[in-house]
A and B are shown apart, each in its own frame.
Chain A
Amino acid sequence: MNETKEGYKNNSVETKDIVFKILRYNPDVDKKPHFDTYTVPVIKGWTVLDAVMYIKENLDSTVSYRASCRMGICGSCAMEINGKPRLACQTQVIAELQSNEVVVKPLANYPILRDIVPDLTPLLEKHDSIKPHIIRKDKEDQKNPRGELYQTPEQVEEYLQFSYCIKCGACLAACPVVGSDEEFLGPQALTQAYRYSIDTRDDGFQLRLDALDDPHGVWRCHFAGACSEACPKGVDPAFAIQLLKREVTARKFGKKTEPAPIAKQPVNVKRWESVPYPPEKTVK
């Protein structure tokens, strides 16, 4: 540690010089990606995102990156840091990486938009292809839900873990199968397919089957488990995919699901006067 940097010297903040090698690529100018090197005075507690922001603000304003919430919720800042896909905002430089050199690249298995910004279109298209929402058999009920749908805590527990996905794309970057088969749906979409298919409020399993039960669908997974290791939210996509394989097979052999019952409208109940009414619908 040293205290040589002017910006922090007055506050007696210890810094440590860390070399950041950042992959640079501007498709309008560069023929192929290359690395630029920056020395950053990292303060204890800084994340890689802090360091990248420091580079942009103080060393090279042309560096492009994507970030938003800075607290591991939005998933925007996923990038490859020292060879592993991680959220830059959750990766502490000194305590976690424990290296004097940090190599930052865009997520693997995606086209590069610019520098360390990947094009997440494949992730979003695959996600969309498995219809990631509750689908009701009764179309009227889908449009205008008749009431609350009951679920037991155990039924919620079945899918809760898998609903924590923030679509950062780290799992697809880690997946070796996506690396060899671009069409493979990938851990994110398959996990969400399981998350919705196992939800007792959902009747859309058959509609997802065309995408899932395909040569590039659920059966393509080799169970390498890299997705679960990469997931910053502990979703465990590899586990979800194996459960999805079991679910597809079980339903093939006639497994029936119990739909969630619709709660009856309360009768002889007086509304509390202090409870405000919901606002008018904004979309008619």
Chain B
Amino acid sequence: MRESTLWFWHLMAAIVILVVLSIHMGVMHLDVILKGLGLLSAGDVLSYAAVIARAKTVAYLVIYLLLMWFALYHGFYGLRSMILEMSDTMSKAGEIVVTWVIFVFGLGLAIYGTYVIIAGYVIANA
């Protein structure tokens, strides 16, 4: 795969993260303002009831899946870039190994994270 493809998705991931992380940070840390504007129901956002209420909605399911997938991609692509940049004596074969190790590790975390988020949604709705 061309580096431009990986880079393009790195930038796209940043945009997606900016949107979904803003929603997450807003709900978690700007709850007083959002409540004042009527965008969030009253109560503690970290209470068990509030967490379960959010976990029940498809919107939060999508937000957290997007946040996890794109943050993993963005972070691991950045990690790969740093390793390849700092290891300038590494051979091409070594670079391929680094790329695959990071890809497999990231994919494993993405699968596990997807399972956890979807399981949370299913259990909350059970």
Q: When the two chains form their complex, are residues B88 and A220 in contact, meaning their CB atoms are under 8 A apart? A: no
**B-side contacts of A177, CB under 8 Å:** 85
Identity of the chain B residue whose Cβ is nearest the Cβ of A220 in the assembled complex: B85
* Interface residue count on the B side (C-beta < 8 Å): 13
B3 touches A219 (CB 8 A): yes
Residue of A nearest to B99 (CB): A215
Given the known interface contacts A215-B95, A249-B8, the answer about A181 and B3 at a Cβ–Cβ threshold of 8 Å is no
Residues of B contacting A57 in the complex (Cβ-Cβ under 8 angstroms): none
CB of A5 closer than 8 Å to a CB of B = no
Complex interface bits, B85-125 against A, C-beta within 8 A gives 1, otherwise 0: 11011000001000000000000000000000000000000
Which of chain B's residues has its CB closest to A178's CB?
B88
Contact B4 A215 (CB under 8 A): no
Name the interface residues of A171-195: CB closer than 8 Å to any CB of B: 177, 180-184
Q: Does B27 contact A (CB under 8 A)?
A: no
Whole-angstrom distance between the alpha carbons of A231 and B85 in the complex?
A: 24
- The answer to whether the Cβ of A117 comes within 8 Å of any Cβ in the partner chain is no
1/0 per residue A235-256: CB within 8 Å of B?
0000000000000110010000
Rounded to whole Å, the gap between the CB of B111 and the closest CB of chain A is 26
Chain B residues near A214 (CB-CB < 8 A): 3
**Complex interface residues of chain A between 212 and 239 (CB less than 8 A to chain B):** 213-217, 219-220
Q: State in angstroms the CA–CA spacing of A216 and B2 once bound together.
A: 12
Q: Main secondary structure on chain B at its contact with chain A?
A: helix
B85, closest chain A residue (CB) = A181
- Cα of A181 to Cα of B5 in the assembled complex, Å: 21
Q: Which of A195-223 contact B (CB under 8 A)?
A: 209, 213-217, 219-220
Q: Mark B1-39, 1 if CB is under 8 A from A, else 0.
A: 011110110000000000000000000000000000000
- Nearest residue, chain A, Cβ from B90: A183
Is the C-beta of B41 less than 8 angstroms from some C-beta in chain A?
no
CA distance A213 to B88 in the complex (A): 17
**Which chain A residues lie closer than 8 Å to B7 at the CB level?**
219
What's the Cα separation between A177 and B81 when bound, in Å? 12
Tell me, rounded to whole Å, the shortest Cβ–Cβ distance linking B94 to chain A.
12
- Complex Cα spacing A216 to B80, Å: 12
Contact B88 A248 (CB under 8 A): no
With a cutoff of 8 Å between Cβ atoms, the chain A residues found around residue B81 in the complex are: 215, 220
> Beyond A213-B2, A248-B4, A252-B4: 19 further Cβ-contacts under 8 Å?
A180-B85, A180-B86, A180-B88, A181-B85, A182-B88, A182-B89, A183-B88, A209-B2, A213-B3, A214-B3, A215-B81, A215-B84, A215-B95, A216-B84, A220-B81, A220-B85, A249-B4, A249-B8, A252-B2
B residues lining the A interface (CB < 8 Å): 2-5, 7-8, 81, 84-86, 88-89, 95
Chain A interfacial positions (CB closer than 8 Å to B):
177, 180-184, 209, 213-217, 219-220, 248-249, 252
29 contacts between A and B (CB under 8 A): A180-B85, A180-B86, A180-B88, A181-B85, A181-B86, A182-B88, A182-B89, A183-B88, A184-B85, A213-B2, A213-B4, A214-B3, A215-B3, A215-B81, A215-B84, A215-B95, A216-B84, A217-B3, A219-B3, A219-B4, A219-B7, A220-B81, A220-B85, A248-B4, A249-B4, A252-B2, A252-B4, A252-B5, A252-B8
